[in-house]
Amino acid sequence: MGTTRIKVIDLSSDQQQVKTSRKHAEKLAGVGKLKKAEKPKTHKKPATVEAAQEVGETKVEPKVEEEEKEAVSQAPETVEKATVAKRQSLYHKGKRYKDARKMVEDKTYTAKEAFELLPKTAITTFDSSVEVHLNVTDQKIRGSLNLPHAKLERKKEKKYLVFGDLSSEALAKGDKHVIWGNDATIVDIENGKLKPGRDFDAVVASPKFMPLLARIAKILGPKGMMPNPKDSTITEDFQKVIEGSQSATHEFKTDPQAPIVHFKIGKVSQKPDELSENLKVLITAISPSKITKATLTSTMGPPIRFDVNTL
Residues 6+ apart with CB under 8 A from 71: none
CB 22 within 8 A of CB 8: no
% pLDDT > 70, the chain: 63
Q: What does the alpha-carbon distance between residue 307 and residue 118 come to, in Å, rounded to a whole number? A: 15
Between these two residues, 6 and 289, which has the higher pLDDT value?
A: 289
Residues with Cβ within 8 Å of residue 64, at least 6 apart in sequence = none
Domains of the chain: 105-153+251-310 (3.30.190.20), 160-247 (3.40.50.790)
pLDDT of res. 236 = 83
pLDDT band at 219 (very low <50, low <70, confident <90, very high): very high
Longest Cα–Cα distance in the chain? 127
CA angle in degrees (0–180, nearest 5) for 186-253-191: 15
Q: Decide: 159 and 201 in contact? Cβ < 8 Å.
A: yes
What percent of the chain clears pLDDT 90, i.e. is strictly above it? 34
Q: What is the pLDDT of residues 199-209, one digit of tens each?
A: 998 898 989 88
Report pLDDT digits (tens) over 4-52: 555 555 555 555 555 556 666 566 555 444 444 455 555 555 555 455 4
**Rounded mean pLDDT of the chain?**
76
Rounded Cα–Cα distance for residues 147 and 138 (Å): 23
Q: Comparing 249 with 281, which gets the higher pLDDT?
A: 281
Q: Could you tell me the pLDDT band of residue 68, with boundaries at 50, 70 and 90? A: very low
State residue 267 phi and psi, 5-degree precision: -120, 155
Neighbouring CB atoms inside 10 A of 225's CB total 21
Task: Report CA-CA distances (Å) from 185 to 4, 195, 210, 238, 294.
Answer: 89, 11, 14, 18, 42
pLDDT higher than 70, residue 53: no
d(CA 86, CA 27): 77
Beta bridge partners, 263, equal 132
Confidence of residue 241 (pLDDT cuts 50, 70, 90): confident
Own/partner contacts of 227-232, CB < 8 Å, gap of 24 or more, are 227/203, 228/140, 230/140, 230/142, 231/142, 231/143
What is the pLDDT averaged over residues 86-93? Answer: 55
Residue 309 is given by DSSP the state G
